[in-house]
Structures are given as C-alpha cells and as structure tokens.
Amino acid sequence: MEVLFINGSLSKKSYTQALITYLSSLFDQTHQLREWSFKEAPLPFMIPEFYGCDTRTHPNENVRSFFEAVISANVIVLASPTYHGTISGVLKNALDYLQKGIFSGKTVVAISVGGGIRVSAQTCEAIRSVVRALGSNCLVDAIASGAPDFKENENVINLIDPVIQSRCRAIVDEIISRH
C-alpha cells in the first residue's frame, strides 16, 4: 500500500508537518510512505488554460510529478494548516490541477492544524468539499488539531495530545483495514 502525504504548509516550523510525522510513524515497514512538500517541489499558479486538462502533458515537471504521485498512491492524506478558516492557498492551488475522478478507488483523509479544533474542523470540511468536487469522498473521521496539541523541544515539534494521538491511531487502523 502506498500512502501519499500532501503537506499544505510552507512553514519552517510546521505543526502540520509534525502531525504528518506522527501519522507516518504509525505505519509499519510494509507500507510505502511518500510526502509531497511544496517547499521542495513547488507548483506554479494554476492558470485557466490548464484547468481540467491532462496533467501528464503539463509543461512543468513538478506538476507532472505531483499528478503521477497522486495516481500511484492508494491512500492520500491531505494536510493543511488553517488560514482564514480554510485550507492553505498552496494546497488549493495543487488540488486545482487534479481532474474529477482522480481520487476514485482511493482512501482520502483530511487533516488540519489551526488555532483550535473548532477552526481546524472547518478546514477539514473545506478539504472534504474539494474532494467531493473531484468526485470522491474522504474518510468520515478527520483529524482537526490545534497548536496546544503540540510541544516544541529543541526546534522539533511533536504531537503530545493523547486524544489526537488516539484519533491518529484509529485512522491508520481504518486505512490498513481497507487495504
């Protein structure tokens, strides 16, 4: 099973990255884990001429690679910080490159980090809305977390909240049971 974590954060010190790191640690060695970082492989702004087009023929190599990463994964984890009550622009831009039906047959998970769980839940709903527009659905359970769920130690951010950790384990268990 191939799991693709798509990180919608560009922050150097990222709670979103810490949540991805924790989730990744729950999978065993039999699972192939991959992370798409827009810091390392940025995508250009989506322009209308490419909306809904075959991304495999896009002139930008990162766009083509992103598309191939999504196609090859069995599980997609869409992770975003909460900016103004919704997903980050960099994640939305990337999702705009994808075509309807691309998530068909895949397990899609929404996770977010914001100022608090209520705000992050809105971000998960925004992710779900985009995934529905692309012709699929996310898992019913999502992970909405906030800054108090993490602790920074020597420039490393770790998820420390036992309730969020338990939710992460439950989601990974559900993913594994589906595949």
Residue range 18-72, pLDDT digits in tens: 999 999 999 999 999 999 999 999 999 998 887 777 777 889 999 999 999 999 9
Rg (CA), the chain: 15
The confidence score (pLDDT) of residue 52 equals 73
Confidence of residue 117 (pLDDT cuts 50, 70, 90): low
Residues in Cβ contact with 52 at an 8 Å cutoff, skipping those fewer than 6 apart? 99, 100
pLDDT by residue (tens digit) across 134-155?
989 999 999 999 999 999 998 8
Q: What is the set of domains in the chain, with CATH numbers?
A: 2-178 (3.40.50.360)
Single-letter amino acid code for the residue at 173: D
pLDDT by residue (tens digit) across 65-107?
999 999 999 999 999 999 999 999 999 999 999 989 999 999 9
